[in-house]
Structure 1
Amino acid sequence: MTSAIDDMKRDGVAFAMTREGYELPVLDIAHSRFAIREDAETIAALNREIERSERQRRRVPKFIWRLLLKSAAKKSRLARALFDPKGSFLDGMSTYVMKLGGDHLVPPHDTPMDRRFASSPHATFLRMRTQQTARLIADGLRAELSENDKRPLHIVNIAGGPAMDSINALMLLAVSSPELLNRPLTIHVLDMAEPGPYFGRNALHALQDRGRKLAGLDISFEHLAYDWNDTAVLRNLLGSLTGVVAACSEGGLFEYGNDEAIVANLSALKAANVKFVAGSVTRADEARQRLAEGSRVKLILRGIEVFRPLAERAGIGIAEVRSTVWSDQVLLRPF
């Protein structure tokens, strides 16, 4: 009897080591195991499933709900990360494991309760957020890069964790437009936590192995500790870069940062002539507000209409939006 790990490896899924010393599958949004259809019918079905699960949750008395969560936390690493009362955000590696989906969990995240959380429509939307952001980055790079221009490419990923949006964008280009990647490439992850970038670097190395999508490419992965409330590290980094610079922040700055931090970071990027910024903005409509009720995760529900003037204060406009019930994924360009 083969294991789930053996099945995934036989299907060509790469694995990489975490800082804790266990292997996890590497998310490849174009792989048949992970790709999500983005047609209106699929998204509507996911929306209905989320609404159904939330209606069920609201029917449970709060004291019983707390007892259920306490019990779940004893059986699931994901539950402990999701419902830790001391936390105000879901850490990068727990978010990453959620994105893998229940069918792709491996020890120590493979209990029945872990699989239940990772199989929820909420987790599916997290993966779709990465998928949409990666495609926006890839589209942005495809428009900016030229086969005849070999200048280095730098992707600055703010609060990037393992930077799967950036890595997947490069994989998309490696398949569709490999000639554009014949240059030095660097992913710069600016993140306070270290476990996410640690895994991301290992995932990149696994994808550079012979026969993998990024094999033979000159790609570096750098991590800088960063608090987005103080942009000195970002400005110093940008001042040292030459070539083509793009930026992104999926599930990070635009969802958790305050208004001043967003404007300050975007202003620093604009001043450095960054070509574009891709990221996710939490929606603020009634459905999303209901989903946020009772959550300990302190997302800021702005929506596009509140986010747009913040970006414009920094001299950056919204060029494209791809939406889900969870968040709007945006491509921003300086003007």
Structure 2
Amino acid sequence: MSERTDALARDGVLLARAASGFALPVIDVTHPRFAVPDDDASVGALRRAFMENERGHARAPRFLMRWIIASAARKSRFLQAVFNPGATFLDGITTYAMKLGEANLLPPFDGEVDRSFARSPHVTCLRLRMQQTAALIADAAARELSEMPGRPLHLVDIAGGPAMDAVNALIFLARSAPELLGPVRIVVLDPDESGPAFGAAALRELAQPGRSLHGLDVSMQRIAYDWAATAPLDDCVAAATASGAVIVASSEGGLFEYGSDEAIVRNLTSLHAAGRGARAVIGSVTSGDEHRRRMVAESSVKVIPRGLDGFAPLAARAGYAIARSRPAIVSDQVELVAVRSEGE
């Protein structure tokens, strides 16, 4: 075992194995190694660091920045993924590894350039994004279960990768309100197998005796999914409602950031199911400010910086309204609640 792996073990950090064979720490945002400060002062400081980083990039000649990035990318799996001209989105495992934090990186993501990248304000924003999403999921699930504790809970995660937003929501609930939890099913709708496979391995580690999810009836299922064709989601929602389950859906760094307007409306309509489906949907919405738009324009990763003002009308078309949001500079994490029409 490496010195870093030994340190993680001493701090009680769990490891799970990815399909490729390497082991990665299991993110638990209630653990000091993974928690990101989310108070107003800390978020303000992160915003200032982010803007200073952006100003530094803007001052450098564009040709020089391209050369620097190309040179660094040869030594960094993170930069290879972010600036790969052929990639329009980040794969689930690489995105997950970025959220580990510099001190928790293990091979093959622990090169010097990778560690430097992991320290950047932008990556800290991604870590905060997941933490905020998990907290919103937990709050919504607790609210929905409060009237009928022990009712089955289905956490539907669209483009969820390892679904660590849903897994961490369960960690929150297991710590704060275990009496609410009955059978829990995490359903990951994702075209990729490797991310959900790692999430399932992480869930198994967390369920071992003496660990945070031990004793809970929790399972994870991955369904191959393309958000342009919602039939699998329709079936998933129908099965959950038929079983009497509470449905809380989420998509962190997924549908609301990369999806077209029509795809967002179509998926939210499926989740709404004419008022019978998910009462709450949590997700991240890419910021629409000028700095974020410039970053998107310079990257091959094509999120859509529509901002809350551009997103809210799409949610309304599907029967949802934004109940609250939490900022993480590069995105806003939103909780949507179903709005029932007079005929429902």
Please indicate the TM-score interval, normalised by the length of the shorter structure: over 0.9
- What is the CA deviation profile of residues 130-172 of structure 1, one whole-angstrom value per residue up to 9, with x for unaligned ones? 0101000010011111385433111100000000100000000
CA displacement at 1:69 relative to structure 2: 2.0
1:279 aligns with 2:268: no
Structure 1 runs, 4 residues or longer, greater than 3 Å off: 146-149
- 1:193 paired residue number: 192
CA displacement at 1:290 relative to structure 2: 3.3
Secondary structure of 1:333's aligned partner? strand
Give me the whole-angstrom Cα distance separating, in 2, the residues matched to 1:120 and 1:300: 22
1:318 aligns with 2:317: no
Give me the whole-angstrom Cα distance separating, in 1, the residues matched to 2:147 and 2:261: 38
- 1:263 paired residue number: 265
- 2:230 paired residue number: 231
- 1:5 paired residue number: 5
Give me the whole-angstrom Cα distance separating, in 1, the residues matched to 2:267 and 2:176: 31
The amino acid across from 1:278 in the alignment is I
Residues 282 and 300 of structure 1 are in contact (CA less than 8 Å); yes or no, is this contact kept in structure 2?
yes
How many residue pairs were aligned?
Answer: 334
Give me the whole-angstrom Cα distance separating, in 1, the residues matched to 2:313 and 2:323: 13
Give me the whole-angstrom Cα distance separating, in 2, the residues matched to 1:149 and 1:51: 45
Identity of aligned residues (%): 51
Matches within 5 A, 1:89-238: 89-146=89-146, 149-181=149-181, 183-238=182-237
Give me the whole-angstrom Cα distance separating, in 1, the residues matched to 2:205 and 2:311: 37
Give me the whole-angstrom Cα distance separating, in 2, the residues matched to 1:2 and 1:89: 32
Secondary structure of 2:151's aligned partner? coil
Give me the whole-angstrom Cα distance separating, in 2, the residues matched to 1:57 and 1:298: 19
CA displacement at 1:66 relative to structure 2: 2.2
Give me the whole-angstrom Cα distance separating, in 2, the residues matched to 1:110 and 1:131: 22
CA displacement at 1:47 relative to structure 2: 1.1
Give me the whole-angstrom Cα distance separating, in 1, the residues matched to 2:78 and 2:142: 36
CA displacement at 1:28 relative to structure 2: 0.8
Pick which of 233-242 and 143-152 moved more.
143-152
CA displacement at 1:2 relative to structure 2: 6.6
The CA RMSD measured in Å over matched residues stands at 1.4
Give me the whole-angstrom Cα distance separating, in 2, the residues matched to 1:2 and 1:315: 51
- What is the CA deviation profile of residues 60-103 of structure 1, one whole-angstrom value per residue up to 9, with x for unaligned ones? 22222222222212211111111111001111111111111111
Give me the whole-angstrom Cα distance separating, in 1, the residues matched to 2:239 and 2:173: 25
Give me the whole-angstrom Cα distance separating, in 2, the residues matched to 1:12 and 1:323: 30
CA displacement at 1:213 relative to structure 2: 0.5
The amino acid across from 2:257 in the alignment is E
- 2:293 paired residue number: 289
TM-score scaled to structure 1, two decimals?
Answer: 0.97
Matches within 5 A, 1:40-119: 40-119=40-119
Give me the whole-angstrom Cα distance separating, in 2, the residues matched to 1:55 and 1:81: 23
- 2:251 paired residue number: 249
Give me the whole-angstrom Cα distance separating, in 1, the residues matched to 2:40 and 2:149: 38
Residues 149 and 179 of structure 2 are in contact (CA less than 8 Å); yes or no, is this contact kept in structure 1?
no
CA displacement at 1:200 relative to structure 2: 0.4
- 1:306 paired residue number: 310
Residues 158 and 249 of structure 1 are in contact (CA less than 8 Å); yes or no, is this contact kept in structure 2?
yes
Residues 318 and 333 of structure 1 are in contact (CA less than 8 Å); yes or no, is this contact kept in structure 2?
yes
The amino acid across from 2:250 in the alignment is C
Pick which of 35-44 and 203-212 moved more.
35-44
The amino acid across from 1:188 in the alignment is V
TM-score scaled to structure 2, two decimals?
Answer: 0.94
The amino acid across from 2:176 in the alignment is S
Secondary structure of 1:320's aligned partner? strand
Secondary structure of 2:278's aligned partner? coil
- 2:342 paired residue number: none
Give me the whole-angstrom Cα distance separating, in 2, the residues matched to 1:201 and 1:31: 20
Secondary structure of 1:312's aligned partner? helix
The amino acid across from 2:270 in the alignment is A
The amino acid across from 1:238 in the alignment is V
CA displacement at 1:291 relative to structure 2: 3.1
CA displacement at 1:49 relative to structure 2: 1.1
CA displacement at 1:180 relative to structure 2: 1.0
Give me the whole-angstrom Cα distance separating, in 2, the residues matched to 1:184 and 1:69: 47
CA displacement at 1:292 relative to structure 2: 2.6
Matches within 5 A, 1:32-47: 32-47=32-47
